[in-house]
């Protein structure tokens, strides 16, 4: 289990240290002013004025966000004065912002060769070296910078970080020791040194660093936590437990130690004690919700180690709900847990609570819409998707699911409107665009614009050749209207090939064959559809009766028409078929 307390990464240490040091922010004018006013290469008065004009214009374009124009102007500056280090620096800055680190580093290296005293050129080059993982080269630059300012804590700290990243562990420790002469014993420095000693395999020195911290401030509980974690990492569980218990003696309300003890008991195989400590940590007022949720994610994503059962997971969530009733993410993870248990209605209710607390999380809205769809709550999907379109007008899924709701609620004109509004927000997603055209085709077909609908279905299938829903519906509509039945058979057959046990798709294929007059084959596929239908769908039963009638089995046909009626079929044509015992076209 990942430790959530005490241990700090180099990155976090760096951020924390620098924020305290108050780094000076340099402006464009600070860097370039001297070079503009005092050209490094002697120019004629006319050329000097031209250079200054282009340089100032370049700075303006950079400020306005037109990087390409700024590059052109600065390049013209270098045509006039090929030795202008200021122009090189500004070009390097733009290239670095565009992630062109190769060009940026080449320009800065040349600028430094022309103006080796400029600190800012070197700092930017060191940053680029760090960005491109040339840590050793960055260290070389900081060695140069520190010659003129050897006691600069900020630069020393940066150098130590770079040395650590370059795996110059012993050198990094030496740099930290220089810093420590200025700062005295410092928690961040000691922790960094402890980690470096571990990298070097010098565990005794790592322990000494933490013990120095304890001697310096014996009343600080977290130092005993650092020591306990170090013992754990070295496999000394006895001393680790002693120090964890020491924390509880000093600070009985320390919630973090319960998470450390949970980790300890997992390592010793005592799962129940680990779970009890986890519950205490989740119940603690001294740990913020983000850290509790981090541990929750670790536990649920690594069940082989944590052995967290669904019942225990639910108990932890209930603790979080009780302790943090106003935290929307608690309801979000509760919803996720309920979805895993297929408790979709309860999951939807939890998501609604989360969104009532925090309405600006698009992912939660998307999950809510999908639950509406899965639960076939069309009115709720209509309202929720409409809200999503208002809150997140650039997200195409909101438009798509609103269109789904409109189709189900027979709001066909609104379907067309919402599709036309949302389709422009689709970027580089052909399958999604295909779904938009499919839904518009559905609506247009229901508005009796069949020719336009078929063109839209063609577009949908063209954009996404695996849109099986579109192919199935298109084939069915073609069969109903006596259109291109060969095309319908080809599409429907492709769908059935991929979904041989889907009753709806089998029904469509059988119906296309029926329309083509291939009654024996239609009968075979319709029987397969009914076999795979667990709901005794009235449409399937009625279709089977139609096929039986055409296949010369009128008595059996009437039986299935009656079954269709008993299972909810109530169309006028079905009732007429039963009454007159004859097949009639729809």
Residue 34 lies in a domain: no
Residue 446 lies in a domain: yes
Residue pLDDT, tens place only, 534-573? 888 999 999 999 999 999 999 999 999 999 999 998 899 9
The per-residue pLDDT for 21 is: 32
Query: CA nearest 300: which of 314, 279, 288, 281?
Result: 314
Query: CA nearest 258: which of 221, 233, 231?
Result: 221
Half-sphere exposure of 136 (CA within 13 A, CB side): 4
Residue 387 lies in a domain: yes
Q: CATH code at 391?
A: 1.25.40.10
Residue 456 lies in a domain: yes
Entry field: residues in the chain: 586
Residue pLDDT, tens place only, 3-57? 222 222 222 222 222 233 333 333 444 444 434 444 445 678 888 899 999 999 9
Residue pLDDT, tens place only, 391-419? 999 999 999 999 999 999 999 999 999 99
3-class SS of residue 185: coil
Per residue, the 3-state secondary structure of 412-452, as one string, reads HHHHHHHHHHHHHHCCCCHHHHHHHHHHHHHHHHHCCCHHH
Residue 460 lies in a domain: yes
Residue 385 lies in a domain: yes
Residue pLDDT, tens place only, 472-512? 999 999 998 877 899 999 999 999 999 999 999 999 999 99
The per-residue pLDDT for 179 is: 93
Domain that holds residue 433: 381-465
* CA distances (Å), origin 295, targets 281, 291, 364, 554, 574: 10, 6, 21, 67, 60
Residue 156 lies in a domain: no
Residue 405 lies in a domain: yes
**Which distant-in-sequence residues (6+ apart) come within 8 Å of 295 by Cβ?**
4, 259, 278, 281, 282
The per-residue pLDDT for 32 is: 43
- What distance in Å separates the CA atoms of residue 363 and residue 341, rounded to the nearest whole number? 20
- What distance in Å separates the CA atoms of residue 539 and residue 545, rounded to the nearest whole number? 10
- What distance in Å separates the CA atoms of residue 263 and residue 254, rounded to the nearest whole number? 15
Whether 307 has a pLDDT exceeding 90, the answer reads no
* Eight-class DSSP state of 411: -
The helix-helix angle for 187-200 and 153-165 (nearest 10°) equals 20
The per-residue pLDDT for 19 is: 30
The helix-helix angle for 119-131 and 85-97 (nearest 10°) equals 30
Overall domain count for the chain:
1
- What distance in Å separates the CA atoms of residue 414 and residue 444, rounded to the nearest whole number? 11
Buried b (16+ CB within 10 A) or exposed e, 411-431: bbebbbbbbeebbeebeeeee
**Which distant-in-sequence residues (6+ apart) come within 8 Å of 448 by Cβ?**
none
């Amino acid at each position: 289990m990942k430790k959530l307390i005490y241990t700090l990464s180099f990155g976090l240490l760096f951020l924390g240290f620098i924020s305290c040091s108050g780094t000076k922010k340099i402006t464009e004018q600070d860097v370039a002013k001297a070079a503009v006013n005092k050209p490094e290469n002697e120019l004629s008065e006319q050329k000097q004025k031209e250079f200054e004009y282009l340089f100032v214009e370049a700075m303006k374009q950079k400020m306005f966000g037109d990087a390409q124009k700024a590059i052109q102007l600065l390049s013209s500056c270098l045509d006039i004065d090929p030795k202008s280090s200021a122009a090189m620096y500004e070009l390097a800055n733009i290239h670095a912002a565009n992630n062109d680190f190769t060009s940026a580093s080449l320009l800065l290296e040349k600028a430094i060769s022309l103006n080796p005293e400029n600190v800012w050129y070197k700092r930017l080059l060191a940053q680029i070296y760090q960005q491109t993982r040339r840590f050793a080269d960055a260290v070389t630059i900081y060695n140069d910078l520190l010659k003129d300012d050897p006691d600069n804590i900020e630069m020393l700290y940066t150098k130590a970080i770079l040395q650590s990243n370059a795996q110059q562990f012993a050198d990094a420790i030496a740099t930290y020791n220089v810093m420590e002469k200025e700062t005295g014993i410092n928690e961040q420095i000691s922790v960094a040194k402890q980690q470096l000693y571990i990298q070097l395999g010098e565990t005794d020195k790592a322990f000494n660093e933490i013990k120095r911290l304890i001697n310096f401030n014996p009343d600080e509980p977290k130092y005993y936590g650092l020591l306990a974690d170090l013992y754990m990492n070295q496999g000394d569980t006895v001393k680790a437990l002693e120090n964890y218990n020491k924390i509880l003696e000093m600070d009985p309300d320390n919630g973090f130690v319960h998470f450390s003890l949970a980790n300890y008991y997992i390592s010793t195989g005592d799962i129940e004690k680990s779970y009890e400590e986890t519950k205490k940590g989740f119940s603690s007022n001294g740990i913020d919700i983000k850290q509790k949720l981090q541990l929750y994610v670790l536990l649920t994503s690594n069940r082989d180690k944590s052995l967290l059962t669904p019942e225990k997971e639910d108990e932890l969530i209930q603790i979080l709900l009780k302790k943090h009733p106003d935290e929307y993410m608690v309801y979000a993870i509760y919803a996720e847990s309920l979805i895993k248990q297929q408790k979709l209605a309860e999951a939807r209710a939890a998501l609604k609570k989360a969104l009532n607390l925090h309405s600006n999380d698009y992912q939660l809205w998307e999950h809510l819409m999908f639950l509406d769809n899965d639960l076939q709550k069309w009115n709720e999907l209509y309202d929720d998707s409409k809200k999503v379109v208002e809150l997140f007008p650039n997200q195409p899924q909101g438009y798509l699911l609103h269109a789904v709701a409109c189709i189900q609620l027979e709001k066909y004109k609104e379907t067309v409107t919402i599709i036309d509004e949302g389709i422009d927000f689709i970027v580089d997603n052909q399958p999604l665009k295909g779904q938009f055209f499919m839904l518009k085709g559905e609506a247009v077909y229901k508005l009796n614009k069949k020719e336009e609908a078929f063109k839209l279905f063609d577009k949908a299938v063209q954009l996404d050749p695996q849109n099986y829903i579109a192919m199935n519906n298109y084939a069915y509509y073609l069969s109903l209207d006596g259109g291109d039945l060969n095309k319908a058979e080809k599409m429907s057959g492709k769908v059935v090939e991929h979904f041989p046990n889907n009753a709806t798709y089998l029904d469509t294929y059988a119906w296309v064959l029926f329309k083509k007059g291939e009654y024996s084959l239609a009968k075979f596929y319709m029987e397969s559809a009914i076999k795979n239908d667990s709901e005794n769908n009235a449409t399937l039963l009625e279709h089977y009766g139609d096929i039986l009638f055409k296949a010369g089995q009128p008595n059996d046909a009437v039986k299935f028409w009656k079954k269709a009626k008993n299972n909810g079929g109530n169309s006028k044509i079905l009732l007429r078929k039963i009454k007159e015992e004859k097949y009639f076209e729809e």
